[in-house]
C-alpha cells in the first residue's frame, strides 16, 4: 500500500519472558475444581474477595485482532510460562469460538491436538472455551446429540469451563449445551449478551429487569457462573457497575442434594448453601427395621438443618406407600417428587396423581398434629 513500509519477509523471532522452566508446577484453579466439584467451586467463587482473572490471549485476543491466526506452536511455546508464572489465573480461554473452524480450514491444524497439548503443558489452570450454544463452534444449529457429544469430548480432552452463550439470549437454545456441561462435570458459565443501554428510555425492553431475569433463569437451569458478554463494547462503566450490583443482589439461592449425614450437612452450611435436599432413595428401597433406621437418620438430619441455617427439603423415589412418614417431618419445607407422579399420570391422569399425593401429605401432617 502506498505510503506504508512493506512487511519484513522474515519476522523477528519472538521474545520469551525469562522464567525457570524446571520449577515444579504449583496447584492452581483446576486442582481446586477437581477437589471441590463444580457446585462447591462456584460457592467458593462467590465468597472469594479477590478479583478472579481469565486470560483470553489464546482465543478472543487473536480472534479479534488478527483473524484467529495464532498457531498451536505459538501457544505451546509459551504454555510452560502460564503453568509456572501465571498459576494464579482463574482460567485460560484457549479454545472454541472461531478457533476450531480456523484451525481446520486455514491453518491446517487439528484443534483437538491443540487442546490436548495445552492441557499437558498447563495441568494446573482451568482451560476455558467459548461455546455458541446450539451452534457449538460452527455457524448453524446442530442436532442435540451432536452438541452433547461435542461437549463430552471437549471435557474429556481438557476443557474445564464452558462459556455458553446465545446471541439473542435465547435460553431455550442454550439448554442442551448447559445440560451437557453439567453431565460432564465441568463448570458452566452462562453468558448474557449485553447489546443495549440500560439507561435508554427509548428502548425499555433491555432494562435492568431484563438482564436480572435472564440471570435468574440461567441460575435456575443449572449454570455455575453468570457472565456478561459485551461483544460490541457498549457496556459503559455506569451500566456495568449497575448491572453487576443488581446481579449480586438478585438473591439467587443455592440448593445441595445430599445424604442425611451430619458431615454432609455441616459441609453444605460451610459452603454457604441456602437449601439442602435430603436423599430419600435409600429409605424407599429398604423395608422393615432397616427402613425405620434410615427414617431416623432423615429425621435427625432434618432437625439439624435449621440449626445450621439451612432450609430443608427431601426427595427421591417417594411413592404413595412411602411418602407419609417423610411428609410428617416438621422441618421439611418441600418434597421433590417427579418420576413417580409422571409415571402414575400415564394411568390416572396428572391431576388425579397429584391430588392423591397431596392428600397423603396433608394426612401425614394432620396425624402428626393430632398425636
How many structural domains comprise the chain?
2
Among 232, 252, 272, the domain-final residue is: 252
For residues 241 and 276, state if they share a domain: no
Q: Grid coordinates standing for 334?
A: 418441600
For residues 295 and 188, state if they share a domain: no
Q: Please, which residues have CB within 8 angstroms of residue 91's CB and are 6 or more apart in sequence?
A: 29, 54, 55, 125, 126, 127, 128, 160, 161
What CATH number is associated with residue 282? 3.20.20.70
How far is the C-alpha of 192 from the C-alpha of 170, rounded, in Å?
10
For residues 70 and 212, state if they share a domain: yes
Among 252, 282, 311, the domain-final residue is: 252
16 lies in some domain: no
Quick one: average pLDDT of 24-39?
Answer: 94
Quick one: average pLDDT of 210-225?
Answer: 90
Tell me if 224 sits within 8 A of 41, measured CB to CB.
yes
Find residue 208's DSSP bridge partners.
Answer: none
Q: What local confidence, expressed as pLDDT, does residue 61 receive?
A: 84
12 lies in some domain: no
14 lies in some domain: no
For residues 319 and 366, state if they share a domain: yes
For residues 247 and 342, state if they share a domain: no
13 lies in some domain: no
- 263-288 tens-digit pLDDT: 989 888 886 677 889 999 999 999 99
For residues 306 and 237, state if they share a domain: no
Among 252, 273, 290, the domain-final residue is: 252
Q: Is the pLDDT of residue 93 over 90?
A: yes
For residues 144 and 268, state if they share a domain: no
Residue 321: which domain range?
A: 256-370
Tell me if 21 sits within 8 A of 80, measured CB to CB.
yes
275 lies in some domain: yes
How far is the C-alpha of 203 from the C-alpha of 346, rounded, in Å?
46
22 lies in some domain: no
Q: Is the pLDDT of residue 304 over 60?
A: yes
24 lies in some domain: no
For residues 63 and 184, state if they share a domain: yes
Q: Which of 131, 89, 137 is nearest to 111 (CA)?
A: 137
For residues 267 and 224, state if they share a domain: no
Percent of the chain with pLDDT over 70: 96
Q: Is the pLDDT of residue 11 over 80?
A: no
Quick one: average pLDDT of 119-134?
Answer: 96
For residues 285 and 164, state if they share a domain: no
319 lies in some domain: yes
For residues 352 and 227, state if they share a domain: no
Question: Which three-class secondary structure string do you get for the chain?
Answer: CCCCCCCCCCCCCCCCCCCCCCCCCCCCHHHHHHHHCHHHHHHHHHHCCCCCCEECHHHHHHHHHCCCCCCHHHHHHHHHHHHHHCCCCCEEEEEECCHHHHHHHCCCCCHHHHHHHHHHHCCCCEEEEEECHHHCCCCCCCCHHHHHHHHHHHHHCCCCEEEECCCCCCHHHHHHHHHHHHHHCCEEEEEEECCCCCCCCCCHHHCHHHHHHHHHHHHHCCCCEEEEECCCCCCCHHHHHHHHHHHHCCCCCCEEEECCCHHHHHHHHHCCCCEEEEECHHHHHCCHHHHHHHHHHHHHHHHHHHHHCCEEEEECCCCCCCHHHHHCCCCEEEEECCHHHHHHHHHHCHHHHHHHHHHHHHHHHHHHHHC
Q: Is the pLDDT of residue 185 over 70?
A: yes
Task: Report yes or no on whether pTM surpasses 0.85.
Answer: no
How far is the C-alpha of 68 from the C-alpha of 71, rounded, in Å?
9
For residues 200 and 344, state if they share a domain: no
Q: Is the pLDDT of residue 10 over 90?
A: no
Q: Is the pLDDT of residue 195 over 70?
A: yes
Amino acid at each position: 500500500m502506498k505510503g506504508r513500509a512493506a512487511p519484513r519477509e522474515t519476522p523477528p523471532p519472538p521474545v520469551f519472558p525469562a522464567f525457570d522452566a524446571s520449577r515444579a508446577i504449583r496447584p492452581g484453579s483446576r486442582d481446586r475444581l477437581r477437589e471441590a466439584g463444580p457446585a462447591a467451586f462456584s460457592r467458593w467463587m462467590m465468597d472469594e474477595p479477590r478479583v478472579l482473572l481469565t486470560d483470553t490471549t489464546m482465543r478472543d485476543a487473536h480472534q479479534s485482532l488478527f483473524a484467529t491466526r495464532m498457531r498451536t506452536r505459538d501457544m505451546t511455546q509459551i504454555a510452560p510460562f502460564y503453568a509456572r508464572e501465571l498459576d494464579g489465573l482463574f482460567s485460560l480461554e484457549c479454545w472454541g469460538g472461531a478457533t476450531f473452524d480456523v484451525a481446520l480450514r486455514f491453518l491446517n491444524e487439528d484443534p483437538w491436538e491443540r487442546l490436548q497439548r495445552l492441557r499437558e503443558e498447563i495441568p494446573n489452570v482451568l482451560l476455558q472455551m467459548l461455546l455458541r450454544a446450539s451452534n457449538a463452534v460452527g455457524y448453524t444449529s446442530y442436532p442435540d446429540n451432536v452438541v452433547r457429544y461435542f461437549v463430552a469430548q471437549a471435557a474429556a480432552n481438557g476443557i474445564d469451563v464452558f462459556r455458553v452463550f446465545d446471541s439473542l439470549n435465547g435460553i431455550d437454545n442454550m439448554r442442551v449445551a448447559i445440560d451437557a456441561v453439567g453431565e460432564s462435570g465441568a463448570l458452566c458459565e452462562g453468558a448474557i449478551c449485553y447489546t443495549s443501554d440500560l439507561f435508554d428510555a427509548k428502548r425499555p425492553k433491555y432494562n435492568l429487569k431484563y438482564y436480572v431475569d435472564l440471570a435468574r433463569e440461567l441460575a435456575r437451569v443449572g449454570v455455575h457462573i453468570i457472565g456478561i458478554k459485551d461483544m460490541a463494547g457498549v457496556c459503559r462503566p455506569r451500566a456495568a457497575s449497575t448491572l453487576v450490583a443488581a446481579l449480586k443482589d438478585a438473591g439467587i439461592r443455592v440448593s445441595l442434594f445430599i445424604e442425611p449425614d451430619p458431615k454432609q450437612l455441616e459441609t453444605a452450611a460451610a459452603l454457604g448453601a441456602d437449601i439442602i435436599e435430603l436423599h430419600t432413595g435409600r429409605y424407599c428401597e429398604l423395608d422393615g427395621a432397616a427402613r425405620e433406621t434410615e427414617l431416623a437418620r432423615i429425621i435427625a438430619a432434618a432437625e439439624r438443618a435449621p440449626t445450621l441455617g439451612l432450609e430443608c427439603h427431601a426427595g427421591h423415589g417417594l411413592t404413595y406407600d412411602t411418602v407419609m412418614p417423610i411428609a410428617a417431618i416438621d422441618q421439611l419445607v418441600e418434597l421433590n417428587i417427579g418420576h413417580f407422579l409422571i409415571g402414575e399420570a400415564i394411568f390416572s391422569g396428572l391431576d388425579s396423581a397429584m391430588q392423591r399425593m397431596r392428600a397423603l401429605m396433608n394426612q401425614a401432617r394432620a396425624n402428626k398434629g393430632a398425636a
